[in-house]
């Protein structure tokens, strides 16, 4: 298991790690990655890895994954926790029983009852949060993958630093011939926090949306995908120039720069995703 922290939420970190240590019927190998900061005191059995500077969320997770061993790799953010002591065993049984699930995201709830944002359900047609289904992106704060699938995907997309790395990992799982599953019957806890609290939220979302297309889609679909999301954002924030200005700055940056690491999913994956409910166009 990989826990990523910048040392800013020690109580939340302790709660999350305790929820993992309490898991039943699984063998654990846990590393806590201090992403540019020391994570502080850790329980026995939890190793630390301190990065000298903030390498970004995807890179920090990857450095942790380099250190852990096991048939599965589980990522838990430092402000998330598991709601059940059988969470991991139940999730692994689900993957084994299916045979073709390559990435699992649980249902996410705010333990304080502050309300659960709809964005935590990674579907266009949200439906009930308790409904399980194939999905094509994930909320990254609690995710489980078979280790061979994670390695075949090349890990999390490090160039993004923050935002959209969960979409890319999901797409690359689909490209491995596996499915990505939202498990509405498994629960992780996370506080309801506005992601726009990050100062670069709008710029990085736009830049990374372009990079996501350039890194993963067949070239004819790149402008289609970016144009569709540009239309969505313009309609959504037509009366919010304070959001559109940094968004378009990131949009321009995305086209002007190259993230590297291109691995087109191929037309076969596009067709397979379309048949499963969502082609990579929006």
Mean pLDDT score, 107-116: 91
- pLDDT single digits (tens) 245-278: 999 999 999 999 999 999 999 999 999 999 999 9
- pLDDT single digits (tens) 35-64: 999 999 999 999 999 999 999 999 999 999
Looking at residue 38, what is its pLDDT?
A: 95
Give the pairing of strands 101-109 and 179-189. Answer: parallel
Name the range with the highest mean pLDDT among 71-75, 192-196, 238-242.
71-75
The correct CATH number of 2-193 out of 1.10.10.10, 3.90.550.10, 3.90.1520.10, 3.40.50.720 is: 3.90.550.10
Three-class SS state of 143: strand
> What pTM value is reported for the model?
0.96
Q: Using a pLDDT cut of 70, give the percent of the chain over it.
A: 99
Compute the chain's Rg from CA coordinates: 18
Looking at residue 273, what is its pLDDT?
A: 97
Q: Using a pLDDT cut of 90, give the percent of the chain over it.
A: 94
pLDDT at 113 over 90: no
204 Ramachandran zone, left/alpha/beta (phi>0; psi -120 to 50): alpha
Mean pLDDT score, 100-108: 98
Mean pLDDT score, 210-222: 98
pLDDT at 197 over 60: no
Average pLDDT of every residue of the chain: 95
Looking at residue 282, what is its pLDDT?
A: 81
Confidence of residue 198 (pLDDT cuts 50, 70, 90): low
Looking at residue 116, what is its pLDDT?
A: 92
Looking at residue 196, what is its pLDDT?
A: 61
Mean pLDDT score, 223-229: 96
What helix, strand, coil percent values describe the chain, rounded to 5? 40, 20, 40
pLDDT at 199 over 90: no
Asked whether the beta carbons of 61 and 2 are under 8 A apart, the reply is: yes
Which contacts of 87-91 are long-range, i.e. CB under 8 A and separated by 24 or more positions?
Answer: 87/19, 87/23, 87/186, 87/187, 87/188, 88/20, 88/23, 88/26, 88/144, 89/23, 89/24, 89/25, 89/26, 90/186, 91/144, 91/183, 91/186
């Amino acid at each position: 298991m990989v826990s990523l922290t910048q040392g800013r939420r020690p109580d939340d970190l302790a709660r999350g790690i305790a929820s993992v240590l309490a898991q039943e019927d699984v063998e654990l190998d846990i590393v806590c990655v201090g992403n540019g900061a020391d994570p502080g005191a850790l329980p026995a059995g939890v190793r630390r890895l301190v990065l000298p500077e903030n390498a970004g969320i995807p890179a920090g997770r990857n450095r942790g994954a380099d250190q852990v061993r096991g048939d599965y790799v589980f990522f838990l953010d430092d402000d998330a926790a598991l709601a059940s002591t059988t969470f991991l065993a139940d999730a692994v049984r689900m993957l084994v029983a299916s045979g073709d699930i390559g990435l699992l995201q649980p249902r996410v709830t705010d333990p304080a009852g502050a309300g659960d944002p709809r964005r935590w359900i990674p579907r266009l047609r949200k439906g009930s949060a308790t409904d399980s289904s194939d999905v094509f992106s994930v909320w990254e704060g609690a995710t489980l993958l078979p280790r061979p699938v994670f390695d075949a995907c090349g890990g999390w997309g490090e160039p993004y630093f923050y935002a959209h790395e969960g979409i890319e990992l999901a797409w690359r799982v689909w490209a491995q011939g596996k499915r990505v599953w939202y498990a509405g019957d498994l629960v992780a806890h996370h506080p309801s926090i506005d992601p726009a609290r990050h100062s670069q939220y709008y710029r990085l979302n736009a830049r990374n949306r372009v990079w996501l297309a350039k890194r993963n889609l067949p070239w004819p679909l790149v402008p289609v995908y970016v144009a569709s999301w540009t239309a969505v954002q313009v309609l959504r924030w037509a009366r919010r120039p304070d959001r559109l200005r940094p968004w378009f700055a990131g949009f321009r940056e995305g086209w002007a720069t190259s993230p590297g690491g291109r691995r087109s999913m191929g037309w076969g994956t596009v067709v397979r995703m379309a048949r499963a409910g969502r082609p990579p166009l929006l």
